[in-house]
Amino acid sequence: MSDPSVEKKEAGPPPDEPVQDEPEKKKREYKDFGHEDEGPTHAKVDMDQIQLTAEDLYDKEKVDLETIVVDDVFKLLQCSEEGLNGEEAKRRLELFGPNKLESEEQNAFLQFLSFMWNPLSWVMEAAALVAIALSNGEGRAPDWEDFVGIVLLLFINSAIGFYEERNAGNAVKALMDSLAPKAKVKRDGKWSEIESADLVPGDMISFKIGDIVPADCRLTEAINISIDQAALTGESLPQSKKLGDQCFSGSTCKQGEAEGVVISTGPNTFFGRAASLVGQDDDTTGHLQKILAQIGSFCLVAIGIFVLAEIFCLYAGFRYQYRRGLDNILVLLIGGIPIAMPTVLSVTLAVGAQQLAKYKAIVTRITAIEELAAVTILCSDKTGTLTTNKLTIDRGTIRTYGPFSAEDVVLLAAYASRTENQDAIDSCVVGAIGDPSRARAGIKLLDFKPFNPVDKRTEITYREESSGKLKRVTKGMTGIIIELCTRNKTSELEDRLEADVEEYATRGLRALAVAYEELDGDDHEGEGNGFELIGLLAIFDPPREDTKQTIDDAVALGIKVKMVTGDQLAIAKETGRRLGLGDHMYPAKVLKDGPAPGTKHANLDEMILDADGFAGVFPEHKYEIVKRLQGLGHLCAMTGDGANDAPALSRANVGIAVEGATDAARGAADIVLTEPGLSTIVHAIRGSRIIFQRMRNYSIYACAVTIRIVVCFAILAFAFKFDFPPFMVLIIALLNDGTIMTLSVDRVLPSNTPDSWDLAEIFAYAVAYGLYLTLSTIALVAIIIRTTFFFDKFGVTLEGGATSAAGNHNDRELHMIVYLQVAIISQALIFVTRSHGFFFMERPSAALFGAFCIAQLVSSIIAAYADWGFTQIHSISGGWIGVVWVWNIIWFLPLDLIKFAMKATVIKWIRERHNNAVKAQTAEGVPMTRTQSRAASIHESLYSNRVSFIRRAARKVGFGQKVSMRPEELQRFSSIQAQRTGATLARNPSRTAA
């Protein structure tokens, strides 16, 4: 195939100067569009000493099985091209293990119990123990009613958490869905097919077009081989491979056939390491769990203070009997802790997930919705995410050099392309003419020479049916094509071509030259009248149609977008310019070397924060970028589609797998898009901010109710020796939480900037509302006990017709009055916490308002008719119900004024203090964490303990052992830690030399 080219070069009299310049052009083109070829190295050790120490083999400065010459690979792995024998293969399988991942199985029962291992659950459990065990005495039975109610709520909460976690998706299992179950291997000098799981380092393997590379290998034979590794490295083009190159396990052979020696298998491979990164970060608690920990701790501190005060006051001061004091303590434990807070927030998030499903987004971890609302930086993969991962001719940049138009050049290039068994280049060229049938219309194919790594071009000889003339077209690498163009190759043309190729290179466009000649006579194998350069095509991976609008929308929502791609820097910059991302991007090596001296960046963190993106990155680079941004106090979202994105998707606060993503990416992601494009992300961000507002509203409400219950009933006990029945507090909690769950569909507006949990504001509002509502109850009780106002004005009475409560502060009807007053105004508080202005200016959802009305009706019915013997209450008259309703309306109206007063004073001071702290820390270069209080690490450790607790428990009872997957569940991975193979062999040398 190369003979005609050689003959033409010999026959033609091209001047010396262009011939001298040509190698420079080829070198420049390879540099721009291929991997820079680094010559093979030798292991920097004495090759006579095969039994190297592990320390030597871990030092990649001495041994790197990926780059050393193939002969050294055979020596280090103690093998040959004849393959291993059966006995040695069996020995190595025991050494290295099967070519697959191992997964840790978690016992479902212990996992369920683990959800009862956190501070909120501990208080619930303590209250249950008090009700059933410690309350047994003084001739009274245990408090079964409270015990059953508490345990029921505890199990409901745990069941929801268990269901969510079990169905959130397992990233390692998803990685294993990308399989290569069979491999062709040479054992005992013969080729045979075996389970890929049985491959070991040192095996000789073979694969051809359409096969998945079954293990990490170095090529010992390569025949026109092209490997698609886009899902592994992010490169948009299939890569041609030659003798000695490394092939990544899990990549797909798109052309040719090859043989290679296995250098790494299973968890020792590149994506074995990637799989180990998935789910193995140090952050064992999610963002929402951290916030819940701090809110829970606030409630616990409030409860603890007043429980201790009651113990000292009631027992030491009032000399209460054992059971009477416990009932008062139980009121604080049951009423104070927001026992349904995790349940309410889970329901809110679950409803949000259903709403996002309408936009074709599947939420696999519902707490990610809350985190998405606070995301400040969106890191995105390029290939297949921002772009289509389908090569396209960029018609706007086509260059012509002869009599043909741009459209003619594209058509002629399509002639010189395969119409079946196409590679990526041929496919995009034929696709550029619209109708693929035009690639052979009007011509009769006489000879076709496909692309090969030697000639680096394709060529067609055909007869034009309309004129009967023989013509020939070739397309390929610019440096190769220009050598053939004897008809119009001049210094001026070469200068122009060189400038055009250079422009393409700086813009990340791949150049494809097209040349044309005519043949005299009827011999289609004869020499033509000389090739003429007619055009230069620019090939690129185009952005998705909606990507630019999505990025613009994300920026408008206050989110910084960064591109993180495995493709080349020039291509990344061009894509960034087309999308409006900017082209301030860096190669991956800066992540190791850091900023150059004298640049504007003082450290690597500053550079990462300032950059528009990074190119040439591997999975661990993406992971490191996300981790560093999180360390700077940012919440990061990551979008991707390939297995190479899985570790970063897992590490990110919110991992988003786009439509068409690999199983590995979907398994590691929190949100999976099922429709093309990224516009769903913007819908998800807006939706998550709506959900965030609902959760914030509930958090203020829950903390306020805690303060209201704890302070109110403690003061009533201290001031009036008032013994409120614990069961009625449980009824209040049930009715409140039943109403509040409708917040999940409440009508709120999203914010225009990333949300953050400012817990100081939440606690300040909660204390103000809680103390005010406490005052409303204490004032009501004080008037009933100390005066006869209500008895005289409204003609109401207490139990037995009493017209005063002065003699009996624990009158059963007085208990019911307090119950009704607390139940009504506590639920009404939500209308104040959910609004930013006057409560009547922001219309609630029909569900919330309807639930409130039903709850108040139930509360009023209980007050009017309940006469339960097991608890200290008695029904009250309609007069008292009316009094309580009027009383609550009077006290409810000023709540908005308290909100405005708080905004103008305390909240304003908190925000100014926060802003000043941010400015001061930014000026000092200290990372600012936006969402955690100073004590956050202490509180979240209590939630982290749930993870370590369940693991320890699993080991003690014999669960959680390593479980080998079935052989057909082989993962597709690739290699970067191949030196582990040599290290293991060095510690366990063969009995016979290979």
Indicate which residues carry an active-site annotation: 381
Helix, strand, or coil (residue 194): strand
Is residue 664 within 8 A of residue 679, CB to CB? The reply is: no
What are the residues facing 62 on neighbouring strands?
none
Instruction: Quote the DSSP letter at residue 877.
Output: -
Instruction: Quote the DSSP letter at residue 737.
Output: H
Distance CA(417)–CA(425), nearest Å, equals 8
Estimate the crossing angle of helix 679-720 against helix 759-786, to 10 degrees: 30
- The residue among 459, 568, 618, 479 whose CA lies nearest residue 237 is 568
Distance CA(586)–CA(617), nearest Å, equals 10
Torsion of CA 90, 96, 99, 101, to 10 degrees: 140
Distance CA(824)–CA(814), nearest Å, equals 16
The two tokens of residue 424 are: 């990526």
- The residue among 644, 634, 646, 692 whose CA lies nearest residue 670 is 646
Give the H or E element holding residue 437: none
Longest dimension (CA), the chain: 127
- Residue 569 CA from chain centroid, whole number: 24
What are the residues whose beta carbons fall under 8 Å from the beta carbon of 475, sequence distance 6 or more?
Answer: 413, 416, 417, 429, 457, 458, 481, 512, 513, 514, 515, 537
- Residue 302 CA from chain centroid, whole number: 36
Residue 159 sits at φ, ψ, to 5 deg, of -65, -40
Distances (CA, A) of 155 to 124, 160, 472: 11, 9, 78
What are the residues whose beta carbons fall under 8 Å from the beta carbon of 28, sequence distance 6 or more?
Answer: 501, 502, 505
Distance CA(691)–CA(745), nearest Å, equals 9
Distance CA(481)–CA(463), nearest Å, equals 22
- The residue among 822, 558, 798, 593 whose CA lies nearest residue 706 is 822
